Chains A and B, each alone.
Chain A
Amino acid sequence: MRFPGLVENEILKIARQRRFRVVVLILMALIGLIVFAQSRGRDRFMKKDWRVETQERMANIQNWLRGGRMPASSQRWARFELQRLQYHLERDINPDAISGPLFARAFANASSYLLLPLLAIVFASDIVSAEFQQGTIKLLLTRPVGRARVLASKLAALMLAITLTVLFGGIVAYLFGGVAYGYAGWGAPVLTGFRAGGETFDPTAVRSIVLWKETVLVYGLAWFAMLCVGAIALLTSVLLRSTAASMGTMVAALIAGSILPRLAPSWESQKFLFVTNLPLPDYYSGSPPPIPGLTIGLAVAVLAAWAAAALAVAFAVFVRRDVLA
């Protein structure tokens, strides 16, 4: 009857299923592996003075550009990277220096392409379909509780699970990263807001920000993107009534979204797809969005619109459709 009780039910079901423990393990194993691999790489490459290394990288990029065999999109990226390195070098800041806090922030950027969306999908795609597959939907929807309330309680529990996953990912990234790079450095200034204005680098948008603020912002963006993915996966779960089909559809969409900007960079309308807008942290703090005309504001708006539409359809279908499974 009372909504908190319904949400408690849904949380109990998420927590007691094996997938919850699997997600926790996946996060810990993956972050551990990344830290290990990175610190090994660093040992090998970071022995030289970073200034020399940065200059070498710039020289390499310049050589590539002169070679002229790069596709247009890569050229744009190369010029941008060149300017970014130049910018750091001029201010005597190591562009690659890493610390536990920096690693935690970088994890949000890297994981918002595939890892975090995947975990959101793992939770969301069975939240309704599992009830159909177990047959428990027949009990759930014959209690004196409206169907919209049942679905709303599932949505609330899903949002909580996603929030905890993002938080947990960040905390594990910081703790594990700290082992390799030290735990200090939350107060370090970082440069943010690199923006690719077409072909030119626009340093006016670059600001210095304290790392912990930037990290909170970046995780907030990652969290928002994951909530949107969760909403869309909830819709596929409602529509397909099969966990496997729902998960498969969402993963296919994710992978398509990660390939599309590279395969068809000139198709501008893809910025209105939800998958191309998932890496919000990256669009915010660093790499230029892969599609011309895509800004962080637009990306947030597109994701929000997708999520709202997905929820509207999910509720309409869930409330109306006959349960014959």
Chain B
Amino acid sequence: MPETVLSAENLTKRFGKREAVSDVSFDVLAGEVFGFLGPNGAGKTTTIRMLVGLARPDRGRVRIRGLDLAHDFVRAMAHVGCIVESPDLYRYLTGRENLVHFARMLPAGAAERIPELARMVALSERLDDKVATYSLGMRQRLGIAQALLGNPDVLILDEPANGLDPAGIREIRELVRYLAAERGISVFVSSHLLSEIELMCDRVAIIHRGKTLATGPVRELLARLASDRVRVRARPAARAAEVLSAFGPAETEAGDAEGIVDARVDVERVPEALRALLEAGCDVYAVDRPLPSLEEVFLDITGGETV
């Protein structure tokens, strides 16, 4: 079992009477990409503010490498790099000045990493331009370089894909995967984009109305809904659909040419269904159990509420 790098224990935050975050708990393990998924207004940013000490939890505790954030803020934050909400940097300073500025807030040696980090986020060329002239994607990357200055064990990114074009989103995703796989940095990523989390994360916590609904490996959560899904490639497709509809709803997608039938068959009854297909004279080319999208998982867990 890998070491826990960042843990939230029963975090609760009230604004007036409204409980924005209730009893949120999770552990982020060393070297994993941990997704924090929820619709806008679910309490993601409030939780992140508590994780990095910007807001005090009314109840609960944050530990970073075992250090209690409330009592050991300075030592705990030495292990953290973060971007909260948006990559806000000093627009009237250049990229390099911004990095030097934040390096001065870290132990000696941080400034020496600036050239390497600039290369890593592909900003070397523009480092001496004012941040005001940067695109959002560049500011996001500069923000990540800033967050990495202190050689952190945990990187906390709040909605890193927000406002980026598909190419920008892909760059960030690849950078995150690289940091986790090659550098061993744990990355905590929040998002309301299911596809993003699905592609980027090892484990995910789903938050809705301030409460965590589910936590677990992305694959496991996906498998929850996947249990009765079967995709069969068989000819003739119409006949196959007819046979499979005896086990649950079934339909052919693209007609006979593709020969694909999507059906819902209980796992236990899959062999029986296949035998029925063969007995009915269908040629079976392939049987697959496709994973649903995270969106479907989400809809399932939240009881059909849209994101």
Map CB proximity to A onto B88-114 as digits: 1 under 8 Å, 0 otherwise.
111111000100011011111000000
Chain A interface residue bracket vs B: 20 to 34
Among B55, B106, B108, which residue has its beta carbon within 8 angstroms of that of A324? B55
Minimum CB–CB distance for B243 against chain A, Å: 59
Q: Could you say which residues of chain A place their CB within 8 Å of the CB of B106? A: 1, 143-144
Which of B73-81, B205-213, B294-302 lies on the face that meets chain A? B73-81
Given contacts A1-B107, A9-B105, A139-B88, contact A324 B49 (CB under 8 A): yes
Task: State which residues 133-155 of A face B: CB under 8 Å.
Answer: 134-136, 138-146
Verify if B283 is at the interface (C-beta below 8 Å from A): no
Establish whether residues B75 and A322, one from each chain, have CB atoms under 8 Å apart when the complex forms.
Answer: no
Task: State which residues 51-92 of B face A: CB under 8 Å.
Answer: 52-56, 73-78, 80, 82, 84-86, 88-92
Establish whether residues A5 and B104, one from each chain, have CB atoms under 8 Å apart when the complex forms.
Answer: yes
Which of A10-18, A182-190, A293-301 lies on the face that meets chain B? A10-18
Q: Could you say which residues of chain B place their CB within 8 Å of the CB of A268? A: none
Verify if B150 is at the interface (C-beta below 8 Å from A): yes
- Expressed in whole angstroms, the Cα–Cα distance for A295 and B151 within the complex equals 57
Minimum CB–CB distance for B193 against chain A, Å: 22
Q: Could you say which residues of chain A place their CB within 8 Å of the CB of B55? A: 322-324
Establish whether residues B105 and A5, one from each chain, have CB atoms under 8 Å apart when the complex forms.
Answer: yes
Verify if A8 is at the interface (C-beta below 8 Å from B): yes
Minimum CB–CB distance for B12 against chain A, Å: 14
Verify if B7 is at the interface (C-beta below 8 Å from A): no
Minimum CB–CB distance for A313 against chain B, Å: 19
Q: Could you say which residues of chain A place their CB within 8 Å of the CB of B53? A: 141-142
Establish whether residues B89 and A323, one from each chain, have CB atoms under 8 Å apart when the complex forms.
Answer: no
Minimum CB–CB distance for B86 against chain A, Å: 6
Residue of A nearest to B86 (CB): A135
Verify if A104 is at the interface (C-beta below 8 Å from B): no
Verify if B146 is at the interface (C-beta below 8 Å from A): yes
Verify if A6 is at the interface (C-beta below 8 Å from B): yes
Known: A6-B104, A17-B92. 11 other contacts (CB 8 A): A1-B105, A9-B101, A13-B101, A135-B88, A136-B88, A138-B84, A139-B102, A142-B53, A142-B54, A144-B74, A145-B105
